[in-house]
Chains A and B, each alone.
Chain A
Amino acid sequence: MRAILGRLAICAAAAVVLALLPFTLSGLNQVLAARVALYFIAILGLNIVTGYTGQISIGHGAFMAIGGYTTAIMSADHHTNLIATLPLSFAIAFGCGVVVGLPASRLSGVYLALATLALAVSIPQLTLKFSHFTGARNGISVDGTVGYLWLYGVSWACAAILFVVAWLVLRGRTGRAFRAVRDSEVAAASSGVSLVLYKTLAFGISAAFAGVAGSLFVLATNGYAQPDEFSIFLSLYILIGAAVAGLGSLWGVMGGAAFVALLPNISQSAPLIRSIPVGGQDIAAGLVVVLVMLLLPTGLAGLLQRMALAASALRRRSGIPTAERG
C-alpha cells in the first residue's frame, strides 16, 4: 500500500512539473520537450512488445510512419481536427500491428528482428508508390499551423493518457500473461495463456502507441510528413531508447525518451563530438549504448530498482547487503 502511495506521489509530482515546465521554456525548447513526450510514448509501446512479451521489434518506425501519415493525410485532404486524428492513428496503427503481429507470433529471436527490420525499411518506400496520397518525396503537410505551447500540451497529455493505459494493461492478468509468454512459452500455454493471442495483442497495442507517437512526430516536425523522416534510424533510436530505459519496466522510460529526443542537441553542443563533421550524433549514440550495456545492463529501470533496494536496506539499518535480483 505504501509503495502504491509513493508511486502516486511521484506521478503527481511529475504532472505538476510537466504542467509548469513550459512557462520557463523558450518556444523551441517547448518543441524539444514535446519530442521527449512522443519518444516517451513510442518507447513505452516498444517496451510492451519487447520488454514484457520478449519479442524484438526493429520495425516500430514503420508504425510511427503509419500514424504520422494518418494525421497528415486526414488533416490535409479531409481537414480533420488534428486532435481528432490522434485516436484514428491509434486505431489504424493497432490494426496494422495486429496484421503484422499475427504472423510475427510464429517467429522468434533474430528471425522476428529481421522481419520487423524489413517492415521498417519497406513502409517508408511505400509512400513513394502511393504518391497521390502521400506526396511522395516532397511529403504532405497538415492543414494549418501548430503552436509550440499547443504541441507541448497535446504531446504530454497523450503521454499521460497512454502511460495510464499501459499501466492498466500491464498491472493485472494481461500483463502477467505477457510476461509469462516471455519467461516460458511451454508453461504459459499449459496454464491456458494463448501464445498467438497475447503475442499479437502485445504487437497491436505497441504499434498503436507508435502510431500516436508518429502523429505527434509529424506535428513536431513543422506539421510535415516525409518518408525520409521515418527512416530505419528512427526504429533503431527507439530501440536504443528502450534499452537505455531498461526493458520490462515502466519507470525508466522517461530517461530513455529524454536521451533519444535530446541526443541531437547534446551531441551538437559537446565539443569533442561537434568537431566530427558527419555522423557525430550516431557516434555519440553508439558510445552511450556501449556504456549503458557495460555499466547498466538492466538500463535506467535497473538502476532505479537497485537504488530503491539500497535505500530500503539503509532504512532498515540491517547492515546486511540486499541480494541482487537474479
Chain B
Amino acid sequence: MSLLSVRNVHLRFGGITALEDVSFDVEEGTTAGLIGPNGAGKTTIFNVITRLYRLDEGDVLVDGSSLLRTPPSRVIRHGVARTFQNVELFPTMTVLENVLVGAHTDSRFERERSARRRATEALELIGIDELASRPAAGLPFGTLKRIELARALVSKPRLLLLDEPAGGLNHREVEELAVLLGRLRDQLKMTVLLVEHHMGLVMKISDHVHVLNFGRMIANGPPQEIQRNPEVIEAYLGGELDESAA
C-alpha cells in the first residue's frame, strides 16, 4: 500500500479551480518529485495534505487512513512534516528553539534535555549545529531553509513534504542537499515528496515524478520518461526540461 494517496482531489477558490481531479500515490521509502510551472498548484497540494486548505471533493490518505477529519495541528501525529516555500520560521527564537518547536508532539513527559539532544542532532545532520544559539532572524535565506528542514526532521516523520528546498541555494549547497536527501531515503528510510524547480535536483534524486499543470495531473513516471514526455515539454514552454533548466 502507498504511504500517501491523493485521490480525485478538487479544490476551488470562488470561481477559480485550483485543483481538478488530482490523484497520485507515493510509495513508502521512495522520493517523489512534484513539478510543474508556476501557479500549477504544487504548493496548494501541500496545503491540502497538511489540512491548511479544505478540499471540495476527494480524499487524502496517509498509510490508508483519511486525513479529512484531522485538524492541521494533528497532521504531524500521522507522521507528516513539511517545509514552506517562503520559509515560515519563528523569527524571535533561536535556531535551536525553532527546531525544538518541531519536537512539540513528543511525549509530554519526555525530558526537555532529550528533546534538546534530538534537536541538536537534527541540526548536526543538516550541518548548521554551530548556529544553534543564534537568533533565527537575520540569517541568510539558504540557512533559514535548512533550519526549516531540521525542524521538520526532528519529529522523525514518515512522510516529509519539501516545498522548494533548493530555492535560494547556491550550486554547492544544492549538491549538499542532494546528498542529504539521498541519505534521508537510504539511511533513515524516509518517504519524501519534493516540490522543486531545480530540474537537475529533481531528476537526480526522484524515483518517480508527477507533473502538474493548471491544477491537473498531466504526467507521471520515472524521471527519464518524464524528460522525454512531449506534453510535459510543452507545459514548460520551449522544452528546456534538461539539466540546464535550473
* Distance between Cα atoms of A325 and B89 in the complex (Å): 16
* Distance between Cα atoms of A163 and B218 in the complex (Å): 60
Count of chain B residues with Cβ under 8 Å from any Cβ of A?
A: 32
A189 touches B73 (CB 8 A): yes
- Which of B6-14, B16-24, B77-85, B231-239 lies at the interface with chain A? B77-85
A176 touches B93 (CB 8 A): yes
CB neighbors of B among A291-326 (8 A): 323, 325-326
* Distance between Cα atoms of A189 and B50 in the complex (Å): 9
Since A176-B104, A326-B137 are in contact, a sample of 14 more A-B pairs with Cβ atoms closer than 8 Å, ordered by chain A residue number, is A173-B100, A173-B104, A176-B100, A177-B101, A177-B104, A180-B93, A180-B101, A183-B89, A183-B93, A184-B88, A190-B50, A191-B76, A191-B155, A192-B104
A192 touches B112 (CB 8 A): no
* A43 interfacial by beta-carbon distance below 8 Å: no
* Distance between Cα atoms of A19 and B90 in the complex (Å): 40
* Distance between Cα atoms of A188 and B16 in the complex (Å): 28
Which residues on the B side are within 8 Å of A188 (C-beta)? Answer: 73, 90, 101
A186 touches B101 (CB 8 A): no
The residue in chain B whose Cβ has the minimal distance to the Cβ of A186 is B88
CB neighbors of B among A162-207 (8 A): 172-173, 176-177, 179-180, 182-184, 186-195, 197
B104 touches A183 (CB 8 A): no
Known A-B contacts A186-B84, A187-B90, A195-B73; A176 and B112 likewise in contact (beta carbons under 8 Å): no
A173 touches B112 (CB 8 A): yes
* Distance between Cα atoms of A326 and B97 in the complex (Å): 17
Mark interface residues in B17-38 (1 if CB within 8 Å of A CB, else 0). 0000000000000000000000
Tell me the total A-B contact number using a CB cutoff of 8 A: 86
B93 touches A326 (CB 8 A): no
B100 touches A187 (CB 8 A): no
Which residues on the B side are within 8 Å of A326 (C-beta)? Answer: 91, 135, 137-138
* Distance between Cα atoms of A49 and B105 in the complex (Å): 22
Which residues on the A side are within 8 Å of B74 (C-beta)? Answer: 192, 194
Interface residues on A, range: 20 to 34
B75 touches A193 (CB 8 A): no
* A97 interfacial by beta-carbon distance below 8 Å: no
B112 touches A190 (CB 8 A): no
* Distance between Cα atoms of A13 and B245 in the complex (Å): 65
What's the minimum C-beta distance from A1 to chain B, rounded to whole angstroms?
A: 13
* A248 interfacial by beta-carbon distance below 8 Å: yes
Known A-B contacts A190-B82, A192-B76, A194-B73; A180 and B90 likewise in contact (beta carbons under 8 Å): yes
* B151 interfacial by beta-carbon distance below 8 Å: yes
- Counting from the closest, the 8 A-B pairs by CB-CB distance are A192-B105, A183-B90, A187-B88, A326-B137, A192-B76, A189-B72, A194-B73, A184-B88
A190 touches B81 (CB 8 A): yes
Which residues on the B side are within 8 Å of A192 (C-beta)? Answer: 73-74, 76-77, 104-105, 155
What's the minimum C-beta distance from B167 to chain A, rounded to whole angstroms?
A: 17
The residue in chain B whose Cβ has the minimal distance to the Cβ of A181 is B90
Which listed residue, A184, A189, A197, A323, touches B90 by the CB 8 Å rule? A184
* Distance between Cα atoms of A192 and B115 in the complex (Å): 15
The residue in chain A whose Cβ has the minimal distance to the Cβ of B110 is A173
Known A-B contacts A186-B88, A192-B74, A195-B73; A179 and B105 likewise in contact (beta carbons under 8 Å): no
Can you offer 6 A-B residue contacts whose CB atoms are under 8 A?
Answer: A173-B115, A177-B104, A188-B73, A190-B72, A191-B104, A191-B105
* Distance between Cα atoms of A323 and B138 in the complex (Å): 10
A172 touches B73 (CB 8 A): no
The residue in chain B whose Cβ has the minimal distance to the Cβ of A324 is B138
Which residues on the B side are within 8 Å of A172 (C-beta)? Answer: 112
The residue in chain B whose Cβ has the minimal distance to the Cβ of A189 is B72
A193 touches B71 (CB 8 A): no
* B92 interfacial by beta-carbon distance below 8 Å: yes
Mark interface residues in B101-124 (1 if CB within 8 Å of A CB, else 0). 110110010001001000000000
The residue in chain A whose Cβ has the minimal distance to the Cβ of B148 is A187
* B52 interfacial by beta-carbon distance below 8 Å: yes
**Most B C-beta atoms less than 10 A away, residue of A176, A187, A188:** A187
Which residues on the A side are within 8 Å of B155 (C-beta)? Answer: 191-192
Which residues on the A side are within 8 Å of B108 (C-beta)? Answer: 173
The residue in chain A whose Cβ has the minimal distance to the Cβ of B92 is A183
Mark interface residues in A233-254 (1 if CB within 8 Å of B CB, else 0). 0000000000000001000000
The residue in chain A whose Cβ has the minimal distance to the Cβ of B71 is A194
* Distance between Cα atoms of A185 and B97 in the complex (Å): 16
Which residues on the A side are within 8 Å of B88 (C-beta)? Answer: 184, 186-187, 190
Which residues on the B side are within 8 Å of A176 (C-beta)? Answer: 93, 97, 100-101, 104
